[in-house]
Structure 1
Amino acid sequence: MKTLFKENKPMMATILSGCLIILGIFLSLHTYVRIAPLFYILSFIIGGFYQAKEGLKDTVENKKLNVDILMILAAVGASLIGYWMEGALLIFIFSLSGSLEVYATNKSTKAITGLMNLTPENALLIQKEDAIIEVPTNSLKIGDKLLVPKGASIPIDGVILTGNGLIDESAVSGETLPIEKIAGDEVIGGTINLAEAFTMQVAKDSSDTLFAKILRMVDEAQSTPSKTATMIEKIENKYVAIVLISVPVMIAFFYFILQWSWNESFYRGMVLLTVASPCALVASAVPATLSAISNGAKKGILFKGGAYLENFGLIKAIAFDKTGTLTSGKLVMTDAFFKAGEDEKKIQMVCTALEKMSTHPIAKAIVLAFEDQGHPSFMMEDVNDLTGYGLSGTAFGSQWKIGKKEYVVKSTETATFSTDAEKIQKEGKTVIYVSRNDQLVAYFGLQDIPKKEAKEMIRYFKSQGVYTIMLTGDHMATGEAIGKQLEIDEVKANCLPDEKAQIIKQLKEQYGTIAMVGDGINDAPALANASIGIAMGAGTDIAIDVADVVLMKNELAQLSYSHQLSNRLKKITLQNIIFAISVIILLIFSNLFQVINLPLGVVGHEGSTILVILNGLRLLRSPSASTDSTTKNLDT
């Protein structure tokens, strides 16, 4: 509560305004009737200052009418005919709704501005003579050498030079487990070193760090309204003009046609000016959109504008890059075949020893598959690396080879043993052969397997009637194999970057609103051409820069969540609009039939504004971790 007042001066003014009204009413009840208006006037000035200032500034600078002008005129009008308390109450409740809107905005940005505090203001710079001085983080240059003590926040993005780090990256990835880093590994500014001190080299300018980009993107998003908010803003100016014209016309109608007294006619005009004001309508979209953007940002989903969040729920088709997006981007051994009678452990030892001599992704996958089997390690003799084909070496008195079929297999006698090789190859897997003295003894199937959450995410979009497509540069067999596992509607293989972009254009014409998800440089043209370009956070900078949405946690489940969040934003905004219009119509007719007075009109009208703001704040709620429970939470 203390923070609420400290960060929201309009709220403090509102409360003081309310206290003055209470004091004015107290004086009126105790025969100090002449003094009471002074307190009401003070309540006017204090409670209405911020709203009047913004309203007049907007009118003068932008030549645009707004609801603030209507409220000021209604309060002044009520006071002119002696309704001081009603006028002050109008300003008070109007000020309260404005203060709550400021609160909603502050609350929706609080999670984002908190990121600024994660990056330390100062860093420990290591000079040429190894002297260490403390300097401002924003003065660091690429190539500077820094010391990061144990327990300290990493000041800027860079690379570890010496020492090992245990880095808490939860602020970026949301992962609770710290990550081990060694010399040569990248580190992110704002994350925390939990292990011993290490030295690092600055790799990015302070304005180009990951946190700087996050803050920039969210700031841009919150200043870019949704289509609904933009439409309401356009209507506001014309609506206010219509109300300003209608009020004197209705006063004349009441006075000359219905033969009401001048005081009653003018009073009903002021009530009409109050209840017809579109305050609640104007507040229907913006607080809700800001809350939804903040909700996404807390989950690691950065929308670069309210329009992209709003449109996410409208997509009719979604296209995915394969490698690194739907799959992990790393080969994994999925099949292993050993010839009958062969010593499997010996073959595994040989394969591990040979492949340790290579840095190829296939070699790493084989080493990873067999290294933890508990076999003793040894060095191969006469190792030969034939680039593009495989490796050979001597062990246990035999010549061993591992690699492609044409390099390894020399004898046709092994054809029966290798019958399943073609089968797994048709499944899109890479087949690696092993021979001893040119006799085939084993072969393995390797594949870049889908991410665990990929299938569930694809099923979600299909259940929502969204057509799914995979675009890959791999050959058709690999693409179709992954597509079949994930139950994707369509697979397009052998795609070059320009071809991906062309396919996206065609799909856009066919389906209208289409999203594209990718992570690499080759995906950038397609991301730029999609209705909504979505970049994986672990992808390249260029993919992140051209995308409209960035998934910082690199989790595909965030796509389902984004779609649900968009639908919920649309649902809440529609609720607000229908509710606001219904209240305005009800209050206008109640005024025409003299059912309500100005205080009731104020409470009804400004109360509806407060309710739509609070309804929008519901989008700040954090859902549970699982997709199923997320769906339930978001649809409530």
Structure 2
Amino acid sequence: MDEKSELMKQPTIFHGMNLSFLKRHAELIAALISGILILIGYMINHMSTQTPWYLFLLAYLIGGFAKAKEGIEETLKEKTLNVELLMIFAALGAAFIGHWFEGAILIFIFALSGALETYSTEKSSKALSALMDLQPETAERLDHGQVATVPVNELNLGDLIQIKPSERVPADGVILKGETTIDASSMTGESIPIFKKVNDEVMAGTVNLEGHLIVKVTKRSQDSTFSRILHLVQSAQNEKVPAQAFIEKFENLYVAFVLIFVALMLTLPPFLFGWTWSHTIYRSMVLLVVASPCALVASTTPAILSAIANGARNGILIKGGIHLQQLASIQAIAFDKTGTLTTGLPKVTQFVNLSPLTNDDLLSHVAAIESHTTHPLGLAIVDYAKEHIKTIPNPDHVKIVPGYGVYGQIDQFNYKIGKANPKFIDEVSLHLFLKEVHIKEDQSLVFIERNGQVIGCIGLNDQVRQTAKEAIASLRQYGIKSVMLTGDNEKVAKTIMKETGVDSMIADCLPDQKANAIKQIKKEYGSVAMIGDGINDTPALATADLGIGMGAGTDAALETADIILMKNDLMKILDTVKLSKKMNRIIKENIAFALMVILILVVSNFIGIVNLPLGVVGHEGSTILVILNGLRLLKNL
């Protein structure tokens, strides 16, 4: 009985899924059905002497409905002509003189291109929803000693909220009680978690890693740094209108010219040249067919789809042809540092030991204690230890001190492992230790104190990606400048700049400052792309002419980006630039060829040396040629 009930539920589930799928992809499904009907009609027509006009008519209605509706509504609203209208007239004209197949093919091409355009638009609209997922919806507010869970947008200035370990900060505020380590990488780009204590500020969207906090709200939800990021992304996306003014202007002029030309051919030739009315109507219908923009449409769509497929095959996700076109004109690329030029993960770069213990023994003690923490620096130390020693012992006692470090006992030794804070590490012993050793600059330092004496130090740093330097150098060969934007301090930024070879850098950038920096770079260089991976990069990604995301980045960055490097390989940028330039070249070739063929056919029709079958062959033949030329982009670069 239970199995039967379960089986009876399944059709309902699948029915809902099917309805949802059909609704989302209705335009594409209609285009494909239209194409199937055309294929069936074509086969029937070749197997018999009768034209299955009813199948082609059905293909007209199913495939052409969406584009015809769009063209009519746009004409009524904007009071301007468009290619959709010309498509309708050309298809009807072909049917009027008995060439249903040619008209149906025209309908199918327009329907398919429209469906792909709709899909691309829907994908790009998810950026704001991805950002919103990182904003907590509720907060725990303290009211007269009682804890009440309230919506974040109901928090007022001065409200007290509590934030537990591992929770995301719901509002901008000041810590009144507690100490912790905050992961602010999503907001500032800092790769190393930041210690926060009483009177320090915290930002909405950051993560409380360790301590229990009481925070006083200093900004309303709509005024927080996080909300400003949302506003910046939304504004930038609204301003980022595709550079299609020339195409739209050409479209209006083209359609008006063809319709006027057809109208003149329907009326003037009998009076000027003595043509019969039947011959005049025939030539006018041929004009509608040969002047229809099938080849022009095919000049771009197959090339773009082939380029996108090529990119996907090579780990490059391109969200639309317009973005790939833009890349060819980019004059400068702004790189986020953490997670883009660097791996975003701290790694041990120096280990200093002044104790009587061997390096392996001291390292095993430190790793044993750090293995009980979740701090990124501690995890990096444990990973380093695993590369050098076989086993990590169990400590006798461990106590985490948020923001400072960790206490631990092992083999009757009392250890303190943490930052150089006088409240945690003995200041006099630390001074003596630093006088005896040479420590590399530009590192995050973790000191080791044993029984009150500093005996060692571990330096950690974010690591530059292996392909970063090569990618920067390769882009320079294409005349593309590189700029590094980072929330890190200037000293760290200069070190990374030297290692990677970027042309310039801007340090200490908060999210809104990164967006402003992109605007300044635009003024200096012109067209600018931005490459990033975190929520702190989303305003800059949206403000730039082109946003490029790293595949391992946050959902917000990936949704905002126009192009995504799925394998986190910066050398893929070079491949994308090559693909962009080749695609633009092929599209220009196709457009020039399509216009030339249309011009030749139109002139030939006017002087009477081309009939309808030859016009169809020339018109459809040019369409096939430009499609084949576009498909060349499927080949490896």
User: Which of the residues 448, 469, 473 maps onto 1:459?
Assistant: 473
Q: Is the 8 A contact 2:341 2:464 kept in 1?
A: yes
Provide the C-alpha distance between the structure 1 equivalents of 2:263 and 2:387, rounded to a whole number of angstroms. 86
Aligned match of 1:67: 86
What is the identity, as a one-letter code, of the residue corresponding to 1:92? F
Aligned match of 2:39: 15
Residue 513 to residue 479, structure 1, CA distance change in 2 (3 Å): same
Provide the C-alpha distance between the structure 1 equivalents of 2:378 and 2:69, rounded to a whole number of angstroms. 67
Provide the C-alpha distance between the structure 2 equivalents of 1:437 and 1:271, rounded to a whole number of angstroms. 97
Cα deviation, residue 244, structure 1:
2.4
Which aligned pairs between 1:114-513 and structure 2 lie closer than 5 A?
A: 227-228=243-244, 231-232=246-247, 235-250=250-265, 254-259=269-274, 264-289=279-304, 292=307, 306-338=321-353, 343-380=358-395, 388-391=403-406, 402-404=417-419, 407=425, 410=429, 417-419=436-438, 421=439, 424-425=440-441, 428-434=442-448, 442-513=456-527
What is the identity, as a one-letter code, of the residue corresponding to 2:105? L
Provide the C-alpha distance between the structure 2 equivalents of 1:6 and 1:266, rounded to a whole number of angstroms. 32
Provide the C-alpha distance between the structure 2 equivalents of 1:16 and 1:383, rounded to a whole number of angstroms. 75
CA deviation map 1:155-198 (0-9, x unaligned)? xxxxxxxxxxxxxxxxxxxxxxxxxxxxxxxxxxxxxxxxxxxx
Aligned match of 1:128: none
**SS of the residue 1:284 aligns to:** helix
Aligned match of 2:226: none
Q: Is the 8 A contact 2:95 2:103 kept in 1?
A: no
Cα deviation, residue 388, structure 1:
4.7
What is the identity, as a one-letter code, of the residue corresponding to 1:13? L
Q: Is the 8 A contact 1:394 1:400 kept in 2?
A: yes
Cα deviation, residue 545, structure 1:
5.3
Residue 244 to residue 437, structure 1, CA distance change in 2 (3 Å): closer
Q: Is the 8 A contact 1:318 1:467 kept in 2?
A: yes
Residue 9 to residue 544, structure 1, CA distance change in 2 (3 Å): closer
User: Which of the residues 105, 109, 121 maps onto 1:96?
Assistant: 105
Q: Is the 8 A contact 2:87 2:107 kept in 1?
A: no
Provide the C-alpha distance between the structure 2 equivalents of 1:263 and 1:385, rounded to a whole number of angstroms. 94
Residue 429 to residue 257, structure 1, CA distance change in 2 (3 Å): same
Q: Is the 8 A contact 2:120 2:319 kept in 1?
A: no
Gaps of 5+ in 2: 1-27, 76-80, 123-236
Provide the C-alpha distance between the structure 2 equivalents of 1:58 and 1:498, rounded to a whole number of angstroms. 38
Q: Is the 8 A contact 1:108 1:294 kept in 2?
A: no
What is the identity, as a one-letter code, of the residue corresponding to 2:599? I
Number of residue equivalences: 483
Provide the C-alpha distance between the structure 2 equivalents of 1:5 and 1:75, rounded to a whole number of angstroms. 24
Q: Is the 8 A contact 1:51 1:68 kept in 2?
A: no
Provide the C-alpha distance between the structure 1 equivalents of 2:36 and 2:380, rounded to a whole number of angstroms. 63
CA deviation map 1:416-473 (0-9, x unaligned)? 7513x1xx21xx2223444666666544331110233433433343332222111222
What is the identity, as a one-letter code, of the residue corresponding to 1:410? S
Aligned match of 2:183: none
Provide the C-alpha distance between the structure 2 equivalents of 1:465 and 1:7, rounded to a whole number of angstroms. 42
CA deviation map 1:263-314 (0-9, x unaligned)? 5555444333322232222343345445555665676755555543432332
Cα deviation, residue 348, structure 1:
1.9
**SS of the residue 2:299 aligns to:** coil
Q: CA-atom RMSD, angstroms?
A: 4.3
**SS of the residue 1:458 aligns to:** helix
**SS of the residue 2:466 aligns to:** coil
Provide the C-alpha distance between the structure 1 equivalents of 2:349 and 2:274, rounded to a whole number of angstroms. 90
Scaled by the length of structure 2, the TM-score of the pair is 0.63
CA deviation map 1:115-147 (0-9, x unaligned)? xxxxxxxxxxxxxxxxxxxxxxxxxxxxxxxxx
Provide the C-alpha distance between the structure 1 equivalents of 2:262 and 2:476, rounded to a whole number of angstroms. 52
Provide the C-alpha distance between the structure 1 equivalents of 2:108 and 2:241, rounded to a whole number of angstroms. 20
**SS of the residue 1:314 aligns to:** coil
**SS of the residue 2:429 aligns to:** coil
* 407-416 or 277-286: bigger deviation: 407-416
Gaps of 5+ in 1: 27-35, 80-86, 114-220, 624-632
What is the identity, as a one-letter code, of the residue corresponding to 1:332? K
Aligned match of 2:622: 608
Scaled by the length of structure 1, the TM-score of the pair is 0.63
CA deviation map 1:68-91 (0-9, x unaligned)? 3442454366x4xxxxxxx42xx3
Residue 436 to residue 94, structure 1, CA distance change in 2 (3 Å): same
Provide the C-alpha distance between the structure 2 equivalents of 1:253 and 1:584, rounded to a whole number of angstroms. 22
**SS of the residue 1:604 aligns to:** helix
Q: Is the 8 A contact 1:434 1:441 kept in 2?
A: yes
